[in-house]
Amino acid sequence: MMIPRDKGTLAAAGATLVVLTAGWFGLLAPTLAEHAGLVAQTQQADASSQEMGRKLPALRSELDDIAPRVDSLRELGQRVPSTIDQSALLRQLEDLAAASGIPSVRLTNVGLPTMVESPAAVVPDAIATAAPGADLPSASDTEESTSGKGEPELPTSPAASAALASYEVTMEVAGSEPQVRDFLAGLQSGERLALVNTSALQVLEDGTATLQLKATFFLQQVDVEGLASQIEDLLARGTADSAVARQPQPTHAAD
């Protein structure tokens, strides 16, 4: 008997992740460019009071445009770490599994990070539900597995040359069908930004289900918190400068 596929839930979760990934580029890339421009302009303005007076109105306008993005930038940064930290990743996955009633998660492969050039509008495939007793997809259909003993080797993170990098993780969990579906849903809305690429579910006659999946996780390649703090500092300085500019200038009585 075929188990109904929960396509709507997966598609919605996938669409949400796509929006988040696109949002990263929509927020971070423009902010990086604007911040670099602001720093350069501010340094030039500091060298000359005349230049400062001419440039400050334009700088304040740019700062006002950036201000609403800082909180969103931080929220995205919290879900995208700067390193893989396999131990922390496994711990988060095991906590998620435990919350779903699944005893453990087996990582079969952790891929090398690659730079992300543009957000990929990929909606995860619906779970391929196999009939009782059917074979799961082969390892070549997902990704070549490691030798199978111990944790996969931790790959080296790439140099910080772009805003975002990604790496793929292949894993397997087992439990009841509701449990593995709950795990899958939690993975796509968990602590780390993740996009499920492929998943295959095998349900046996006794109700035991095994889920094999490959998910993409992301790494930030800039100091997001540092960038947000610098932007806030510029915003504070801009506000202070505005307050000073609005104060009436002292007048001197004629001799």
pLDDT in tens, 170-187: 999 999 999 999 999 999
Coil, strand, or helix at residue 47?
A: coil
User: Around Cβ 53, how many Cβ atoms within 10 Å?
Assistant: 11
CB 45 within 8 A of CB 51: yes
Is the pTM higher than 0.75? The answer reads no
**135-168 pLDDT tens trace:** 444 444 444 444 444 544 444 444 334 678 999 9
Backbone torsions φ then ψ of 172, nearest 5 degrees: -145, 135
